[in-house]
């Protein structure tokens, strides 16, 4: 089950520069209520921002909490995502469970404390879904690729195939209605779109 959070309120949605301008107006002597009404910022959000600003905290909204709950730094996450992509490119696709296990091992080897639900040796489902979204990855069940097929697919053999195809087309002058697609899925005539 993949969970996607949907906002239930418009609170804490103001951009940082707008919040700063509103805070400056309040510091200049205007009331929080009047500044909030003028700028369209939620009054409670602006009041909380002013209280945090007095304590020296300049972040807005709840982003600080979300960042604090992150397991890996952005650099470490990118390293993990690049490793998973590299494995996939080398025909070693990982299942979701193996990716979650890899993330947990990565955290342990780097002495990073993990959430309680990672104690079983697997990263959490929610973390995994968010990780895929943050790095624009999609997950599919990997299919086995034979060694012969994966090693035969290279620049030389593909170039040789298309050279042979061009030579055959030039030599025999096939009309379009005589060009067929023949593969594992069946035989189809390209011009008439039949199979």
Task: Give domain status of residue 37, yes or no.
Answer: yes
C-alpha angle 31-18-21 in degrees, rounded to nearest 5: 50
How many of the other CB atoms lie within 10 Å of CB of 116? 7
**Stretch among 4-13, 28-37, 98-107, 123-132 having the lowest mean pLDDT:** 4-13
Asked if 190 and 176 touch (Cβ cutoff 8 Å), the reply is yes
Same-domain status, 158 and 112 = no
More confident residue, 41 or 56: 41
pLDDT of residue 9: 66
Q: Is the pLDDT of residue 62 over 60?
A: no
Q: How many domains does the chain have?
A: 3
Average pLDDT over residues 151-167: 84
Residue labelled with tokens 């600003």: 53
**pLDDT at residue number 155:** 87
Distance, CA of 112 to CA of 105 (rounded, Å): 10
Domain co-membership, 80 together with 127: yes
Highest mean pLDDT among 40-44, 87-91, 106-110: 106-110
Whether residue 165 sits in one domain with residue 128: no
Average pLDDT, integer, range 87-115 = 86
Residue 4 lies in a domain: no
Q: Say yes or no: 113 and 82 in one domain.
A: yes
**Separation CA 102–CA 94 (nearest Å):** 9
16-32: average pLDDT: 87
- For residue range 117-158, what is the model confidence (pLDDT) as tens digits? 888 899 988 888 888 888 888 777 766 666 666 677 788 888
| The CA-based dihedral angle spanning residues 91, 92, 97, 99, taken in that order and rounded to the nearest 10 degrees | -100
Instruction: Tell whether 125 and 89 lie within a shared domain.
Output: yes
Domain assignment of residue 174, given as a range: 154-189
The reply to whether 10 falls in a domain is no
Same domain, residue pair 60 and 93: no
CB 101 within 8 A of CB 118: no
The CA distance from 144 to 91, in Å, is 8
pLDDT at 2: 47
């Amino acid at each position: 089950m993949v969970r996607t959070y949907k906002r239930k309120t418009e609170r804490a949605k103001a951009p940082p520069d707008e919040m700063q301008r509103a805070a400056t107006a309040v510091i200049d002597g205007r009331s929080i209520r009047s500044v909030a009404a003028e700028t369209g910022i939620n009054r409670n959000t602006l009041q909380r921002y002013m209280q945090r600003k007095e304590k020296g905290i300049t972040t807005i909204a709840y982003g600080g909490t979300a960042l604090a709950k992150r397991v890996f730094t952005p650099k470490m996450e990118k390293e993990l995502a690049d490793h998973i992509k590299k494995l996939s490119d080398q025909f070693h696709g990982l299942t979701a469970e193996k990716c979650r296990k890899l993330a947990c091992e990565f955290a342990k080897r780097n002495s990073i404390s993990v959430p309680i639900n990672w104690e079983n040796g697997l990263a959490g489902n929610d973390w995994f879904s968010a990780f895929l979204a943050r790095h624009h990855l999609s997950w599919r069940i990997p299919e086995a690729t034979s060694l012969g097929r994966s090693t035969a697919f290279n620049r030389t053999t593909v170039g040789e195939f298309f050279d042979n195809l061009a030579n055959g087309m030039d030599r025999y002058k096939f009309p379009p209605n005589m060009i067929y697609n023949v593969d594992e899925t069946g035989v189809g005539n390209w011009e008439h779109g039949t199979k």
